[in-house]
A and B are shown apart, each in its own frame.
Chain A
Amino acid sequence: MKICVLVKEVPDAAVEKRIDSSTKRIDRSGEKNLNPFDTHAIEAAMQVKEGGVVEVEEVVAVTMGPESAFRALHKAVSLGADRSIHLTDEALAGSDCCATGHALAKVLETESPDLVLLGQQSDDGECYTMGAIVADHLKMPSLTQVIKMDVAEGKLTCERQAEYGYDTVEVDLPAVISVGDAINEPRYPSLKAIMGAKKKQLDTKSIGDVGIEADKVGSDGSRTTVLAINPPPEKAAGEIIEDEDTNETVEKIVAWLDERKLLA
C-alpha cells in the first residue's frame, strides 16, 4: 500500500496575521509551521504502517506551496514519511480552493496512492475539507472529520463526527480521509529523525511536471475573487446591571435572553 499525506505550511499560531493590502492576500512572511492538523494525518499514516495489518511500502508527504514550504516536508519526513514531493510554481500563487484542489489532485495522480490522508482543516482557515475536493477529482470516496480509522485489506472502517453523533462508515480503498485532531496524539520526532530529514528524497515539481494547465490554477484559474477586506464590525457597547434586588436582576436577564430567542 502507498500512503500519500497532504501537508500544508501555515503561519504559526502565535504570529499576528496580517493582510497585505496591496495583494489582498494573507501576508505569509513571518514564522510558519506544519499545519497542526496535518501532524495527526502523518501520525495516522505511521500507525497504519507500524500496525502490521497491511503492508505499507511507503508514506509520501506532498505539499503545494511557495519555496519555504519545504520545511513542512522536512517536518513530515522527520515524523516518519519516507520521501516527499514539493509542488511549487509561480503560476500557483493566488489559487483559490477550486484551483488548489485541482493542482493537488494532479500531483497525487502521478503517485497513484492507495490512501490519501490529510488534516481536516488548516490553521489559516481558508478552505475546510480540501480532502473532499481532491477526492472527487481523483474519483475516490472521501470521508472527513474522521476520529478513528481501522485498516484492513482493501478497505477502511472509520468513525467520524457528524451532525447527529458519530457515524461508522466503511470505505473501499483507494480513498481520501481527512482526520480530526481527536484521532491520535502525534509523536515527537527524535533528534536523529530531524537531522536526517534533509537527506530524504525531496522531489520538486512544477505545474508542467504533473500536467497542470496554467489557466486552471493561480489567480487566473481561481473561480472566486476577493472584492474587499474590512475590519470586523464594531461591537456596540454592552449594558451593565448592578445587582441590588436579585429577583429583579434575574427578571431582566431572562427578558434579555428571551428577546434574543435564546430561551427557545
Chain B
Amino acid sequence: MHVPDGVLPIAVSAAGYATAGAATWYSLRKINQKENPQEDVPKASLLTAAFFVASWIHIPIPPTSAHLVLNGLLGAVLGYYAFPAILIGLFFQAVMFQHGGLATLGVNATIMGLPALLAYFIFRLRNIVGRDSRMWTGLFGSLAGASGIGVSVVIFSVLLITFIPAHIDAEVERASIWALSLSHVPLIIIESVFTALVVLFLHRVKPELLNG
C-alpha cells in the first residue's frame, strides 16, 4: 500500500503532505480536547510501536505470505491517535527499514491514515448498540478492518493508475483501477476477519483498550 518515491508528480506529493498536515492538525486538536492528553501519550506511543511490530507478522496468504496493514484495527484501538501513529510508523519505515518513502510520506499517510480514522468512527458506532456484546464487537471490528484497508486500496489504486502512466487512455485507466482494486479483495477479507479476531481477543482480555 506504499507509493514509492519518484513515482508521483510533485503536485501529488505536495498535496499529500497538505492533506496529511491537515489531518494531523485535526487529530492533535481532538487529542488536546481530551481531559488528560499527556496521560495518553505513553499509551499511544507504545501502541504505535506495538502495531509497527505487529505489522511484521507474516500471514500465510497462498501462494506466499504477506504483512497485514491493520490500519482498521489501529483506528479502532487508537482513535484520534491513529493518524499520528500511522505517520510515525511510515516515517520509521522510510527511514529505518529500507522502504524509502520520504517524498511520498504525506501521500502514504493519507492513503492509510484517513481510512484509519474512518474505521475509528465506524467502530465507535458500536457504543450505540451496546459495547459489552461480543457479537456487536466482532461485527464492528470486522467492519472497521474492512473499511480501513478497503478505502486504502481504492485511494491507492486511483492514485497509482491516474498519475503514473501519462499516456494511457481513459478507458484502460478505469479498467486498471478496477482490476487493481479487485485483486486486493482477498486481502480485504482476510484483514476484516483478522481485525475481528483481534478485537474479540481484546474485548475478552482488556476491554479498556477498545473503549478509549
Chain A partners chain B: no
What residues of chain B have their CB less than 8 Å away from a CB belonging to chain A? none
